[in-house]
Amino acid sequence: MAKTKTYDLICLGGGSAGFNAARLAASLGKRVAIVDGAKELGGLCILKGCMPSKTLLYSAEILHHARHAAQFGLRVRGAAADMQAVHARKRRIIGEFAAYRQRALAGGNFDLHRAFARFVDARTVELSDGTRLAADFFLVGTGSKISVPPVPGLAEAKFWTSDDVLDLDFLPQSVIVLGGGIVACELAQFLRRMGSRVILVQRSRHILRDHSEAASTVVQKAFVDEGIELFAGTQITAIRQDARGTTVEFQHDGRRIVRRAAHLFNALGREPNTAPLNLAAAGVRTRPNGQIVINRWQQTSAPHIYAAGDCSGPAEIVHVAIQQAELAVRHAFGVPGAKPVDYGLLLNVVFTDPQLATVGRLESDLQQRGVAYLAASYPFDDHGKSILMEAKYGYVKVLAEPKRGRILGAEIVGKDAGELIHCFSVAMARRGTVFDMLRAPWYHPTLAEIITYPLEEIADQIRGA
């Protein structure tokens, strides 16, 4: 048997968490390996997530504006999607991103093993090619995979996943979308704007259930206005398929509803991709859904094994995965000044149109914790720049501490919310107040100046207290 090769750190998975952990550890002079057996290197964000979806969404946004140019006094005739051209552009752009990451993986100051790994004990993994590797520390960053929940008929059905929708080179006539999360909403709107008939069936009372009801209601209205047939608060009772397509039967508002489409898109969520790792052999505890249990230092129940990213949560967000992975490395190797990830600064963006973005604490969180706060909001349909842009959906909402006005959180649903939210992100990272933000100049007319109205309202409340 070949001798087991040893490292200071082995990263399982070469996505955002594993790659950045390996890069940091190598810069500290450690012996590092990445193990990744995926057909393509690059991770979910580059290959099948953030970047391809946003490339397609932007194409759909341009088409949407062209088709509605008349509201700006413009004539644009014959605007239509060339799906093969859209697909080719997406492949070219993502290919460039992936090639850059692949060069970084291949040329890094660490070993790259193109195989899958499973633990044989707490210090050793066996690769799918028979090689055995050992390490003082491990970082598990194997991401997530498509979930197939126990919906009647779903497991037996032929359905699309987000991977399939992101790789379409033709325009489907009609699609039933199951789910109301971020992936379901972003890609349902993409399909509708490109020209497909879209029926969205959501189990919860509102789409985007992890966000406020007020914000999700704004996005829902935009979807319905654009022609998406949307059913929220449903219970699916049957899914049937034949040569002509898919039929979904569900209960909605006490009625039996049946809808039929050429294609079915399962967007009911993802689950941690941990089952093949044999984590039990290493003493790593997981939740029933496979999510790895971690502490504030990213350590698992086996203290020398860390986890980061989608496989451990709490948020499936790239910059959070990177923060977690780098924290794990610093903690493992005793780098001075390491601090746990501050989830009080958590950023979240949904790239629907209107976009939905939050930073810090949600209002529901503050209410559940019994934290005192002041709140103020201002609508986009009463703001000059958004009116002239015909970007009238949504609002900006600010949450602040009652005495000094320190920003606790913010919620924006509206045009370019994902860009505007960073105004609050910077202020909150510096523990800024509404007064601090109002000291800055805000140019007129800009979308960003809408932020000043709720800030001024809270400032007035504090001054008048």
Residue 316's pLDDT band (cuts 50, 70, 90)? confident
Q: How many residues does the chain have?
A: 465
Please state, rounded to an integer, the average pLDDT across all residues of the chain. Answer: 95
Query: How many percent of the chain have pLDDT more than 70?
Result: 100
What is the model's pLDDT at position 465? 72
Where exactly are the structural domains of the chain? 5-146+271-332, 162-268, 344-464
Question: pLDDT tens digit string along 214-256?
Answer: 999 999 999 999 999 999 999 999 999 998 999 999 999 999 9
- The predicted structure's pLDDT at residue 69: 96
The contacts of residue 291 (CB under 8 Å, 6+ apart) are 271, 272, 274, 311, 312, 313
Paired residues of 256 in beta bridges = 251
Beta strands (DSSP E) in 289-370 are 305-307, 347-350, 355-360
Joined together, the tokens standing for residue 147 give 């979930």
Average pLDDT over residues 410-437: 97
Q: Enumerate the β-bridge partners of residue 397.
A: 377, 411
Q: Is 376 left (phi over 0), alpha (psi -120 to 50) or beta?
A: beta
Retrieve residue 130's tokens. Answer: 């028979």
Q: Is the pLDDT of residue 190 over 90?
A: yes
- Edge-to-edge strands of the sheet including 255-261? 234-242, 245-252, 255-261
Report yes or no: 317 and 341 within 8 Å, Cβ to Cβ. no
For residue range 384-396, list pLDDT tens digits in order. 999 999 999 999 9
SS3 of 395-455: EEEEEECCCCCEEEEEEEEECCHHHHHHHHHHHHHCCCEHHHHHHCCCCCCCCHHHHHHHH
* CA–CA distance, 398 with 160 (Å, rounded to integer): 39
Q: Please check whether residue 302 is in contact with residue 283, taking contact to mean a CB–CB distance below 8 angstroms.
A: yes
What are the Cα distances from residue 120, in Å, to 117, 136, 228, 367, 429? 9, 15, 50, 46, 42
C-alpha 86/C-alpha 72 separation (Å) is 25
Q: Quick one: three-class SS letters along 8-47?
A: EEEEECCCHHHHHHHHHHHHCCCCEEEECCCCCCCHHHHH
CATH 1.20.970.10 fits 344-464, yes or no: no
Can you tell me the mean pLDDT for 425-432? 95
Whether the predicted pLDDT of 43 surpasses 80: no
User: In this structure, are residues 10 and 113 in contact, taking their beta carbons and an 8 Å threshold?
Assistant: no
Tell me whether residue 20 is exposed, middle or buried, using C-beta atoms within 10 angstroms of its C-beta: 0 to 12, 13 to 18, 19 or more: buried
Instruction: Say if strands 245-252 and 255-261 run parallel, antiparallel, or are unpaired.
Output: antiparallel
pLDDT at 2 (0 to 100)? 63
Torsions phi, psi of 306, nearest 5? -110, 165
Residue range 102-153, pLDDT digits in tens: 888 888 899 999 999 999 999 999 999 999 999 999 999 999 998 999 999 9
pLDDT value, residue 44: 76
The CA-based dihedral angle spanning residues 7, 12, 14, 19, taken in that order and rounded to the nearest 10 degrees:
-50
Task: Determine the pLDDT at residue 102.
Answer: 87
**Assigned superfamily of 162-268:** FAD/NAD(P)-binding domain (3.50.50.60)
Which structure tokens are listed for 251?
């209960």
Q: How far apart are CA 246 and CA 301, in angstroms?
A: 44
- One fold for 5-146+271-332 and 162-268: yes
- Rg over CA atoms, the chain: 24
Class of domain 5-146+271-332 (CATH, top level): alpha beta
